[in-house]
Structure formats: structure tokens, C-alpha cells
Amino acid sequence: MNPTTPPARWWPAVLLALAATAPLPAALTAGGTAYTKRLETNLLAEPAALAATVGRLPAGRPVQIAEVRGAWLRVSDGSAAGWVFAGNLSETKPAEGKGLGAMGLSASATTATAAARPLSPAADDYAARRNLTQARDDLNWLLAQCRAFTPAAVDSFLKEQKKGEYQ
């Protein structure tokens, strides 16, 4: 055996890892499976953004697609059912997990406060060492500006522009 070849005892783990990456069946079609990707996904009574909310699903929840109507899907997780804009679902199970923010963030961390957070201490230190004080000021300005772009502001923009689920 090549001295750099992994020992045989590792192969089962490798095969498991490979199996885990196998593509899922095509989703976002009737009969397929999709996954919620927002911290909270509303199930609506009708395929329209302003329809009544009939249920809520947490992030990463698999749902079965019963019907497709344009960009809207009627889905069910077994206990709750309703319409969801396709853009709010993922064809594959979200894989980023807790390590990368999206699925592991608490609700409070998704607010504009999170977007407007101060520069990380490590970056502050880096800016000082690399004489990037002007860039640091600019970045702090950007982070502060982001305070205005709350999820509600984005939602208003979507409505006004007739984008996303408001199309």
C-alpha cells in the first residue's frame, strides 16, 4: 500500500461521507421533498403573500410537495399544511448548520442589530496592524448604515417593487 494511502479502517467512514453527499431526488415538483430554510416559514391559506397564516415551520423541516401553482407550492410536513413561496424552500437539506450562522442564529441575531454589529476585535486589531484605519472607519460606517435595512424594510421593498412572494 502506498504509505500515504489511508488505512483500510477509514474506508467505511469515507464511504459514509460520500453517501451523505449523494444528490437528493428532484424537488420543488409535486410529489417531491423540499426543506424550510428560514428560521420560521409561514404556511399560508392561499398561494398569495398576504393570505392568512395557517401554520409555521422551523428551519430545516422536510415537507412534501402536494401541488405546484406557479411559484407557489402547497406543502405538508405531516402535521401542518399550507402554501409557501418556492423561494422560501430549499431543494436540499440546509447543510450549513450551526457553524455558519444561517440555521443556528437565534431570532435576535437576525435583526438589523446583527447587521449593524461592531467590527470584530480580531479585525480591529488587524486594521491597526495593517494601517487600515480609513478602511476600518468605512467598514464601521457600512455596518452602522445597515441598521436601516431591517427585515421589515426589505419586506416593504419587496411589496413596493412586487418582488419575491409579492410578484
Applying the rule CB under 8 A, the residues between 30 and 69 that interact with another protein are 37-39, 59
Which of 25, 78, 99, 108 is in the footprint of another protein by CB under 8 A?
A: 99
Cell numbers placing 56 = 409555521
Neighbours of 24 (CB within 10 A): 13
* Measured distance CA(128)–CA(126) in Å, rounded: 5
Nearest to residue 43, comparing CAs of 31, 51, 34, 35?
51
Member of 57, 63, 75, 86 binding another protein (CB under 8 A): 86
Start-to-end CA distance of the chain, whole Å, equals: 60
Among 1, 79, 108, 129, binds another protein (CB under 8 A): 129
Count of residues engaged in binding another protein, rule: CB under 8 A = 75
Q: Which residue, 52 or 142, is less far from another protein as judged by CB?
A: 142
Instruction: Scan residues 133-162 and list those touching another protein (CB under 8 A).
Output: 134-136, 138-139, 141-143, 145-146, 148-149, 153-154, 157-158, 161-162
Cβ at position 96, least distance to another protein in Å:
7
Neighbours of 41 (CB within 10 A): 23
